[in-house]
Amino acid sequence: MVKLDVRAQVSMVFHLDKCIGCHTCSLACKNLWTERPGAEYMWWNNVETKPGTGYPSNWEDQDRWQGGWSVGQAPSPVLRSQGKLTGLLKLFYNANQPGLDDYYEPWTYRYSDLFDAPQGDVQPSAAPISQITGKPIDIKRGPNWDDDLGGSPLYAENDPNLASLTEDERKSLFEVERMTMMYLPRICNHCTNPACVAACPSGALYKRGEDGIVLVNQDACRGWRACVAACPYKKVFYNWKTGKSEKCILCYPRLETGQPPACFHSCVGRIRYMGVILYDASRIAEVANAPVEKLIDLQRSMLLDPNDPVVIAAAEENGVSAQLLAAAKQSPVWKFVREWELALPLHPEYRTLPMLFYVPPLVPVMGHREEGLYTRAGDRESIFNAIDEARLPVKYLASLFSAGDPEPVKAALRKLMAVRWHRRSLEFKTIDPQQILADAGLTVEQANAIYRLTALSTLEERFVLPPLQREEALSTFGDTAAEDCRQSCGLGRTM
């Protein structure tokens, strides 16, 4: 057997069944990090309505942006946006980069108008002014312009994921009575095979070895913006004022003092979970280069069981601290992703091996069949049929979370359904949950544990993190140019 190269990663789960789309996370992040000149338009955390085109507009259209990786000659995948030489040519002009019109021109209001207006018959109003030019602007679009399906014909219908549906399915999605939507909160995935890092000509981006956080060294960044093009999630942003690129830092100053990131901490729906995941870094290239139908399984298998003595020994040998190991054993992320297989990566086909996983949403309740009357889904047949007949087609979810394969999404939804029916059975003795649970592949203990972690979990259960203690390292901002791969560097080749 090949030797394990164990790395620890602070990883995440977003439970979409619980997201209420309130944007509190986005604002917590904005207030903390991006209220600066040049960063006004950045939303390191944003919440998208799906179906919708998201932010920046149509970020999932990789034919246009060329983000992420494609299958390359074994053993490693290749960046879609550039090769080594084309990367240098694209320094001068890079056609795959989003611009102001894909985001929006940031603006504020001239509030002084409210005070300075002369006395008159009408109430004064504050004129919108551009935060770039300082001049009045005609606002054309803004962040979340398509929130809650606002402007559907312009936005929702252009969602690239709808390509997986038939014409009829697409139509029925936008009939008023059947209209449906879900929320997709997004931050940087702190990927295991980050395209942003691989694309940076200056080597300014790097992944921290201890916790896997992906950062941009602001001293090494030269503003070439190859990372912006390469990140398929468009989670690196270019600061037009400083001329450097920036991204979500997973609130590492908070993590290092034992606090969860601001977006996690402030989440009203408590949808966010954070925990340590151990993974085998020697398999990154192989997994990222796998055939598309194997991506989910292989990425799962790359994550290592924190209770396995072999894994523990290899982790210790790699210098994973005792606190991190202890945290890994309590990790809610391990439970959601591996034990219960409820959480899936967003767009695994981008091959960056994201470390943020999503529990697909079960809402809205099924039952559109009977002209607006809900059928009482009493027997288990119709319980699981309901998943196939959901207003939000499984195919759509599969396009988001499992590279088009409906099975992993269905399996997760079945489990979510079974947990609900199990809870209901405790109140209504007429329901026998045993068979439903068995069909979904859950034990009663698991159903209870899922219920507890989903509905009742405390802050400490949702965020299982030791202080990362990097502040004890000699220098946090040490020489990030000096790379040190310990054992494997992911993609090992130079070209």
Per rule CB under 6 A, is residue 91 in the interface with ligand HEM? yes
How many beta carbons lie within 10 A of that of residue 385, not counting itself? 15
| Site track for another protein across 410-449, x = CB under 8 A | ----------------------------------------
Contact 107, 128 (CB under 8 A): yes
Judged by beta carbon, residue 191 or residue 436, the one nearer ligand SF4 is 191
Nearer to ligand HEM, 89 or 459 (CB): 89
**CA nearest to 247, candidates 239, 236, 238, 261:** 236
Using rule CB under 8 A, residue 255 touches another protein: no
Of ligand HEM, ligand SF4, another protein, none, which one does residue 189 interact with (CB within 5 to 8 Å by kind)? Answer: ligand SF4
Residue 198 as a binder of another protein (CB under 8 A): the answer is yes
92 binds ligand HEM (CB under 6 A): yes
Contact between residue 144 and residue 21 where contact means Cβ atoms under 8 Å apart: no
Q: Could you tell me the end-to-end alpha-carbon distance of the chain, in angstroms, rounded to an integer?
A: 27
Q: How far is the CB of 92 from ligand HEM (least distance, A)?
A: 5
CA neighbours closer than 13 Å in the CB half-sphere of residue 341: 18
Contact 215, 191 (CB under 8 A): no
Residue of closest CB approach to ligand HEM: 91
| DSSP conformational letter for 330 | T
Q: Name the residue among 165, 139, 473, 187 with its Cα closest to residue 319.
A: 473
Partner in contact with 231, chosen from another protein, ligand SF4, ligand HEM, none, beta carbon below 5 to 8 Å by kind? ligand SF4
H or E stretch covering 129: strand 128-130
Residue among 33, 145, 174, 240 that touches another protein (CB under 8 A): 240
Q: Of 70, 202, 301, 382, which lies in the binding site for another protein, with binding defined by CB under 8 A?
A: 202
Q: Which of 105, 146, 147, 405 binds another protein (CB under 8 A)?
A: 105
Residue-wise over 431-447: b if at least 16 C-beta within 10 A, else e? Answer: bebeebbebbebeeebb
Tell me the closest approach of the beta carbon of residue 278 to ligand SF4, in angstroms: 19
CB nearer to another protein: give 14 or 233: 233
Binding-site partner at residue 99 among ligand HEM, another protein, ligand SF4, none, CB < 5 to 8 Å by type: another protein
Q: What is the 3-state secondary structure (H, E, C) of 11-25?
A: EEEEEHHHCCCCCHH
Number of residues that bind ligand HEM (CB under 6 A): 2
Binding site for ligand HEM (CB under 6 A): 91-92
